[in-house]
Amino acid sequence: MLIANVSPRTGGKTTDSGLLAHAVKETKTKKAPQGRKVKGFDADHSQQFWQWAQNGDFSFPVDKLATARFHKEYVLPEDVVGIVDCGHSENHPDITDSVLRVADLVILHMAPTAGDFERIVEPVDKTTLADMIKRSASLRADGQAPPAVVLLNRTVPNTKSSKNYRTEMEAEGWDVLSTTIPRSEAFAQAVGFPVIGASKGPFGALVLELESRGLLT
């Protein structure tokens, strides 16, 4: 299966993609007692996910594929979970559109802030991500839009922001995951270095939530 990690602008995607990929590989679950095979796809011109895989000595491949032909060119064996780090959908909608044609799950990454909320829900001059997901339906093999969830990241405990933006996003029709990724120095410094123990923290909890909800096969 293929998981598309999206946001209109900078939203924590690369950090979350790298840590989620490791957690998917390492987390031993009911359905995957040995963990899962994973493969990364860097669909951002920054190539930061790919670069992290080199510098961080990842134990799985990350392909460079920042192209509007993603849906034609990606290669993913049946038993492997593909994790795609998309670029800014507001600047490169053509690439995100292509990924959405073949994604089995979309994860929208956002901080619980007005800045992120506005760019997702009420962009002045762009197509909303919700509309991009909806319009993908007609170009998909099954004619249905892929399931999509919101992952709140850079959350701070005991503040109102997470609860407020969870409520706001749900009111907009989004499905917000229970798991959130807290703001932390360790996560802020993760890109560029080897990833150790990703399954032990919130990314392991994220894998369990996705599996228990039938969103991770």
Ligand X SMILES: Nc1ncnc2c1ncn2[C@@H]1O[C@H](COP(=O)(O)OP(=O)(O)OP(=O)(O)O)[C@@H](O)[C@H]1O
Among Mg ion, ligand X, none, partner that 184 touches (CB below 5 to 8 angstroms by kind): ligand X
Site string for ligand X, 145-164 (x = CB under 6 A): --------xx----------
- Provide the token pair at 139: 């170009």
The single-letter code of the amino acid at 30 is K
Query: Measured from the CB of residue 3, what is the shortest distance to Mg ion in angstroms?
Result: 15
Closer CB to Mg ion, residue 29 or residue 89? 89
Longest dimension (CA), the chain: 46
98 binds, among Mg ion, ligand X, none (CB under 5 to 8 A by kind): none
Q: How many CB atoms lie within 10 A of CB 149?
A: 18
- Measured in degrees and rounded to the nearest 5, phi and psi for residue 148 equal -135, 140
- Residue 53 CB, shortest distance to Mg ion, in Å, is 13
| Least Å from the CB of residue 64 to ligand X | 14
In contact, 129 and 108? CB cutoff 8 Å: yes
**Nearest approach, Cβ of residue 114 and ligand X (Å):** 17
CB atoms within 10 A of CB 87: 24
Q: Report CA Rg, the chain.
A: 16
| Binders of ligand X in range 26-55 (CB under 6 A) | 44, 46, 48
Q: Which of residues 62-121 bind ligand X (CB under 6 A)?
A: 87-88
How many angstroms separate the Cα of 74 from the Cα of each of 30, 42, 43, 179? 29, 11, 10, 29
What is the binding site for ligand X (CB under 6 A)? 7, 10-15, 44, 46, 48, 87-88, 153-154, 181, 183-184, 187-188
